[in-house]
Amino acid sequence: MSPLTLLPFIVLIGAMFLMTRSAKKKQQQAAAMRNELQPGSGVRTIGGMYATVKEVNDDTLLLDAGPGVELLFAKNAIGAVLTDDEYNRIVHGIEHDLKSDSDVVPDDASSLAETDDSVDEAAASDDKVVDLGKKDETGEVREKAAEAEQAEAGEEPKKTEGDSDEKK
């Protein structure tokens, strides 16, 4: 057999080796995490239950899931060990922020808006009709009315897209 025909098999065996090695590392990390459990730690089981470790034995843990609720779990059933802040945030709803209370966002946006009177006056005086390019019957009527106002004022009507330079 030539080395070229063996190349796909070598690559396949190498990929399998790398995958099993990474899975083995993850298993070792999980076992180390479970062996380092101490009473008082907050944990999440593989079933999604949050509890506090009350007692640690060789293969089992006694978990405190609430007032008067103690459960016996296998160490393998522990999915994650949580930090105190994370456990309190999830279980008790306590947010541990380092920010001061002055950075609280208001419930409504009225306190964020400017209260300058000049802004209100500028908005009130800007009552002109804005042409957005869409024309219907009312738009044509408005356009003719605007041309009539300009004619009364002695101004020459403005050209639109369809108008030519010829006089009517």
Q: How many domains are contained in the chain?
A: 1
Query: What's 85's domain CATH number?
Result: 2.30.30
Q: Assess if residue 81 is contained within a domain.
A: yes
In a domain, 44, yes or no: yes
Is 124 part of a structural domain of the chain? no
Q: Any long-range contacts for 10-18 (C-beta under 8 Å, 24+ apart)?
A: none
Over residues 132-146, the pLDDT tens digits come to: 666 555 556 667 777
Domain assignment of residue 16, yes or no: yes
| Beta strands at 78-82 and 50-56: parallel, antiparallel or unpaired | unpaired
Indicate whether 70 belongs to any domain: yes
Considering the domain boundaries, does residue 25 fall inside one?
yes
pLDDT tens, residue by residue, 15-41: 998 888 888 888 888 888 887 888 988
Q: How confident is the model at residue 98 (pLDDT cuts 50, 70, 90)?
A: low
| pTM for this predicted structure | 0.45
Mean pLDDT: which of 39-48, 116-125, 143-152 is highest? 39-48
> Where in the sequence is the domain holding 85, given as residue range(s)?
11-96
Choose the weakest-confidence range: 70-84, 96-110, 135-149. 96-110
- The reply to whether 24 falls in a domain is yes
108 within some domain: no
